[in-house]
Each structure stands twice: as C-alpha cells, then as structure tokens.
Amino acid sequence: MELKVGDDGNRQHYGSALCWWLTVSVVAILVVGAGVFTILAKFHHHSHSPQLSNINTKYVSSLQLALRFFDVQKSGKVENNRVSWRGDSGLRDGREENLDLSKGLYDAGDLVKFGFPMAFTATVLSWAILEYGHHMDAVKQLDYAMESLKWITDYLVNAHPFADILYIQVGDPEVDHNCWERPENMTEKRPVIQVNSSFPGTEVAAETAAALASASLVFKEINLTYSLILLEHAQQLFTFADTYKVSYSVSVPQVGKYYNSSGYEDELLWAGSWLYHATKDPSYLDYVTEKNENEFGSLGSVSWFSWDDKHAATQVLLSRVNFFGARDIPDVENLDLQKYRETAEILMCKLLPDSPTATTNRTKSGLIWVVPWNSLQHSVASAFLSVLYSDYMLTSQTENLYCSGKMYKPIDLRKFAISQVEYVLGENPMRMSYLVGYGSEYPRYIHHRGSSIPVDAKTGCRDGFKWYDSPEPNPNVAFGALVGGPFFNETYDDFRNNSMQGEPTTYSNALLVGLLSGLVATSSVAWSF
C-alpha cells in the first residue's frame, strides 16, 4: 500500500516547503546548463592519469567487469550504455507524483527500485572513489565509476522533493515478482512509496544522507554547484532522520519483507560521520562521539558490514580520523575516536585467519561466510574494510597491529583481502569464478530477468516465465555481475530459480569495486578528502 501525505493535513507544510523547493529547482537548472556534461566527458582534473608501476592486471580486468554491471542495472534513458541488450526503461517512474524518478538502479535481478540498498550502493561507490580514485583513474575506470554514481545521486535528489519527504521505492515487489519480463517491456503500474514526518524512516533517510554527503565530496572538485546541492539534501535528510527516530520497517511495514532493517542507530552514526568529512563541522563529530557513541556505537563488539549494518564501516571510517589526525579536535573526542579504532581492530583481528581471535565464520577454504543468502556480500565487505585499514596503517606509518599479543603488519590485512578476492575469481573448490564474465567458468543461469530473456522476445508479465524455466543458459551475459555465492559447504548450484545463490546485487558489486580498486595497485591513500 502506498503511503502519501494527506492534502488537508499538510497544506501548510507544502506552502512552507515550496519556497525551499523553488530555490533548489533554480539552482538545479543552473547545474543542467553548467555542469552535467562534466560527468559524460573526461574529468579535467584527472586528464593526466597517474602512473602506477605495480598495477595488477588481473584485478584491472575484474574491476572493469564489476563496473559494467551498473550499466546492466540502469533504469531510465540509457544513453551511452555499454550493454547492447539494455534499452530505455522506467521512463514514467514517479510521474503520478510529478517527479522524475526514471534514473536509479534496479537493485538485483528484479525490476524494483529500493531506495535503502540503492543509497548504500552510492555511499560505498563514493567511498571507493574517494580512497582509490587515483587507482581507478590509472586504469581508465574512474569516469565509469563516477557516471554510475551520478546516475544514482540524480535519482536520490529527485526522490527528496521536500525537506521531510523522501521517496524510498518505485514498483510493487509483489506484482513485480509475479512477472518475468525485460525492464524495457514493463507495462504494470509502478507505485511509489515515501517516508515523511507522519510515517518516518530513520535508516533510509540517514543512509540517503550518507550517500549524498559522501558523493558531495566526490564531485566537489569538478562540479561545485552539484556538490553543494548534494550536501544540502544530505544535511536536510540527516536532520529529518534524527528528528523522527522511527524505523522505516515500522512506518512502512510492507518494505520489511525485502529490505527489513535491524535498526537505525548505525545509519545515524554512518551519516553523521560522512557529514563530518563533507563539512568538517565539529557538531557532526560531536554527534558520533560524545553524544551517541555509547548508545549507537556498538563499541567493543564485532558486526558484519552490509546494506543493513554499518557499525563496522563507521568504526573504520572514524578510525581514519584518528589515524591521520585533524586540527582542533578536543582531547575527549580524540579519546572517543580511539575507542572506535580499537573496535575496528577487534574486527581486523577476527578477519586475520591465524589470529588468536580469528572468527569461525569462514569456510574450510578460508572464505568469510555469515549467512546463506548473498553470502559473498560479507566476504567482499570484510575484505574491503581490511584493505582500507591496511592502507590507513601504511599511510600513517603505523607498523603493527596487535591481536591478543600477536603482532601483524599492514601487509597481513592486505593478504587476507587478496585471499577473499582470489576465492571469488576462481581459487575455490568449485574452480569457478563468481564474477560473471571472468575466466572460462562462471555462472550461466543467473537469476536476472534482463539477462535471461532474448532481446527480440515478445513476452508480457506472465508468459515470460518460459524463459525463467528454460533449460538454456541466459542469452544475454550480465558481464560483471557478482552472484550471491557459495553455501557454507562451498557448493554452488547454477540454476535460474536459485535466487539465494545466483542473484546478483548492485550493493555487493559496489563493495567488490571498492575492494578491487584498493588491490589494483599499492599506494598511500589521501590524508583527507
């Protein structure tokens, strides 16, 4: 059921919000005239790619593939798309609310646009670019990463028409999952769902704030006007999220079946951390330290980084501030940052396979494995965090990490990350790559509508299931798709109806992009964004 703000109860709200929206609209028009072309052209400040002498060509080709998957998932008018079997789709999304929600990404093998994981995808992509954009640039992949990021942030900006209204979903999952069709051929109604002050959604608003704040840093040097628009939306969304602390799974219970949230505390800290990096406003640092670290921070305990839980990533991101230091941070907040870093170190020690505190959440071959559904998400997420932490140590000349008295070096964390990506690329008992298109053996029957239906097929909602049931491999190869992954016993069943193992997701791909970007070459990360 679609939730809307009633007209009678909100005339005053719309009147006050109209002035704000008109102001943003005028600025947005200026952006169209002055800056949109910068993403489609070569980026002037990266016109001379840096020379890295230690490039790993295997990871370069994997990164190229992983970034292509975002083109597979695009909604809207897909100009300059690199995927021959994809065309325009979702062009009318949002029209019933007088919004243009045509852009954005389909999250997985279906045709729904879920705002929560989409915003997470943007945040991770931004983080990857901010830390390893120089690596991407050296191998000529930065433009593709930034174009995919902007495809999402354009959507997220349009999905936030008023300060306390955010559209969080396009499409009805129940209707969508009863169809099997190409996105280009959709004819079903595409209802939209919003959160607002009457039906809040703290975690989805906060994650969107994190996405736009981090992206504002990415675009700051090449399109300041656009960057400032993203930052303004991020700050308003954070205020909205923090003012109305209610889980979106409670306010909009129908979303709980697909992306049910386990809590919003981590998203508030995650968003506050990114806003601190984007603004250097000490009030955001105070928010994530003195004000909320004990209630929200999960300090001293280990969690697994995913679209649902950002505690571990927040701890690593705030460790960055502690590693590199910052001016005018009070001693008490530096001590708080040290607590975040100590918690991040607990996770690093859990990940190292021969650590005294090594986690048992790994397969016999060493793959981090937490849950059966989309199991590789936690593997690549853990490896991404370990590469970041390793590089923070390396850049800050921190030589040692101690795990219950045993000493480790930054290279040990990097070796762990390499072990995870090597598993993904074929060093596993199945002797197959879980990245579609890499190597000679990879999944051929992935759970993905567009991939499984021939371009010239004339099918509607229900009769398209003949392609779902087809014994033939997918006719369109979804190059770069990272499938869900193996079971704990390290087996994988390549069947189209095996969505638990065979459905790719944009957010797992974003994590893989971050991981591969860090491993493409070795070099110091920037001291600040």
197 DSSP assignment: S
φ, ψ for residue 76, nearest 5 deg = 105, -160
- Of the pLDDT bands very low, low, confident and very high (cuts 50, 70, 90), residue 45 is very low
Question: Residue 225: CB partners within 8 Å, gap ≥ 6?
Answer: 27, 30, 31, 34, 35
Q: At what angle do helices 265-279 and 202-219 cross, to 10 degrees?
A: 20
Percent of the chain with pLDDT over 90: 84
- Of the pLDDT bands very low, low, confident and very high (cuts 50, 70, 90), residue 30 is very low
Of 16-30, 48-62, 515-529, least confident by mean pLDDT is 16-30
Q: What is the pLDDT of residue 51?
A: 67
Strands 192-196 and 113-114: unpaired
Q: What is the pLDDT of residue 376?
A: 98
**CB 504 within 8 Å of CB 482:** yes
Q: What is the pLDDT of residue 458?
A: 87
C-alpha 430: how far from its chain's center? 28
Q: What is the pLDDT of residue 69?
A: 98
- Of the pLDDT bands very low, low, confident and very high (cuts 50, 70, 90), residue 31 is very low
Q: What is the mean pLDDT of residues 434-442?
A: 98
Cα–Cα distance measured from residue 115 to residue 73, given in angstroms and rounded to the nearest whole number: 14
Cα–Cα distance measured from residue 153 to residue 31, given in angstroms and rounded to the nearest whole number: 14
Closest CA to 111 of 195, 3, 184: 184
**Strand ranges for 215-351 from DSSP E:** none
Q: Which residue has the higher pLDDT, 341 or 52?
A: 341
Average pLDDT, the chain: 91
**CB 180 within 8 Å of CB 188:** no
Q: Which residue has the higher pLDDT, 325 or 246?
A: 246
Cα–Cα distance measured from residue 259 to residue 149, given in angstroms and rounded to the nearest whole number: 21
Cα–Cα distance measured from residue 316 to residue 319, given in angstroms and rounded to the nearest whole number: 5
User: Exposure string (b/e) for 88-111, b if CB count within 10 Å is 16 or more?
Assistant: ebbeebbeebebbbbbbbbbbbbb
**Strand ranges for 399-518 from DSSP E:** 401-403, 406-408
Q: What is the pLDDT of residue 50?
A: 58
Cα–Cα distance measured from residue 304 to residue 371, given in angstroms and rounded to the nearest whole number: 11
Q: What is the pLDDT of residue 23?
A: 44
Q: What is the pLDDT of residue 309?
A: 97
164 DSSP assignment: T
Q: What is the pLDDT of residue 164?
A: 97
- Residue 87 above 80 pLDDT? yes
- Cα angle value 458/464/466 (rounded, 5°): 115
Q: What is the mean pLDDT of residues 434-457?
A: 97
Q: At what angle do helices 376-395 and 331-351 cross, to 10 degrees?
A: 130
The string of DSSP letters for 290-314 reads IITHHHHS-TT-----SSS--HHHH
- Residue 15 above 60 pLDDT? no
pLDDT tens string 466-513: 999 999 999 999 999 999 999 999 999 999 999 999 999 999 999 999
Question: Residue 447 catalytic?
Answer: yes
Beta bridge partners of 402: 407
Beta bridge partners of 256: none
Q: What is the pLDDT of residue 53?
A: 72
- Residue 390 above 50 pLDDT? yes
Q: Of how many residues is the chain composed?
A: 529
Question: Residue 303: CB partners within 8 Å, gap ≥ 6?
Answer: 266, 309, 311, 312, 347
pLDDT tens string 166-213: 999 999 999 999 999 999 999 999 999 999 999 999 999 999 999 999
- Residue 394 above 60 pLDDT? yes
Instruction: Please tell me which residue in 160, 233, 378, 447 is annotated as part of the active site.
Output: 447
- Of the pLDDT bands very low, low, confident and very high (cuts 50, 70, 90), residue 41 is very low
Q: What is the mean pLDDT of residues 214-233?
A: 98
